[in-house]
């Protein structure tokens, strides 16, 4: 079964911006947060929203703009798994490795996804369609094992059916995305 709910970050085809435009947005973020305590994490989150990931030149720009050592900025990015320094695929898959999901076959789901996509955890498919990550509890333990793909939570995922789930996110299907909050569906 599948239940869907919103959690997505990211961008759509056709809203590409130039490097100058991206940098201007980043500078705007930095100047609005610079004087606030604890601003580094929100700035990094917004920067990742702007760029899709956090390349080195962006981290250096943030360090300069926030008057912080680069090592501190890079250290924060390295500490939190939701930050990525490499480009992610159009679809971000996160497999829950929380206790309930783990004991109910989360590892087998992960193995099936790795095999189906031909990538390991932390990698992106060559066509940049899918990135694969692991995460901790999504709060859906009663319907474990669970995975998220972008803003959708898939419950009670069966390893044998991950190909059917992935097919929903193929470029052809992306033209007709599943409506948010559409409830549960069989996988
Ligand atoms: S342990 Fe996976 S959703 Fe809670």
Q: Does 185 sit behind a cis peptide bond, omega within 30 degrees of 0 on the bond before it? A: no
* Interval 91-137: pLDDT, tens: 999 999 999 999 999 999 999 999 999 999 988 999 999 999 998 89
Spatial strand order of the sheet with 130-135 comes to: 130-135, 91-96, 147-149, 152-154, 2-3, 184-185
Residue 16 has pLDDT above 70, yes or no: no
Q: Which residues line ligand 1 (CB under 6 A)?
A: 96, 98-101, 137-141, 144, 146
How far away, in angstroms, is 157 Cα from ligand 1 center? 12
pLDDT value, residue 116: 96
pLDDT of residue 161: 95
Going from the Cα of 123 to the center of ligand 1, the distance in angstroms, rounded, reads 22
pTM of the predicted model, to two decimals? Answer: 0.68
CA of 179 to the centre of ligand 1 (A): 23
Q: Which residue has the higher pLDDT, 102 or 10?
A: 102
Between CA 122 and CA 106 the distance in angstroms is: 16
Residues 6+ apart with CB under 8 A from 185: 1, 2, 4
Phi, psi of 132 (to 5 degrees): -120, 125
The protein residue with its alpha carbon nearest to ligand 1, atom 1, reads: 98
């Amino acid at each position: 079964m599948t239940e869907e709910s919103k959690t997505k970050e990211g961008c759509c085809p056709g809203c590409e911006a130039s490097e100058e435009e991206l940098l201007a947005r980043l500078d705007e973020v930095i100047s609005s947060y610079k004087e606030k305590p604890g601003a580094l994490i929100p700035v990094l989150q917004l920067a990742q929203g702007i760029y899709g990931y956090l390349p080195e030149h962006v981290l250096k720009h943030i360090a300069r703009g926030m008057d912080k050592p680069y090592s501190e900025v890079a250290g924060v990015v390295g500490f939190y798994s939701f930050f990525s320094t490499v480009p992610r695929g159009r679809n971000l898959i996160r497999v829950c490795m929380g206790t309930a999901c783990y004991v109910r076959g989360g590892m087998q789901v992960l193995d099936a996804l790795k095999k189906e996509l031909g990538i390991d955890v932390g990698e992106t498919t060559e066509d940049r369609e899918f990135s694969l990550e692991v995460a901790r509890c999504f709060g859906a333990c009663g319907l474990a094992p669970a995975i998220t793909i972008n803003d959708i939570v898939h419950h009670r995922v069966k390893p044998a059916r991950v190909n059917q789930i992935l097919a929903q996110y193929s470029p052809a299907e992306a033209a007709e995305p599943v409506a948010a909050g559409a409830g549960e569906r069989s996988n």
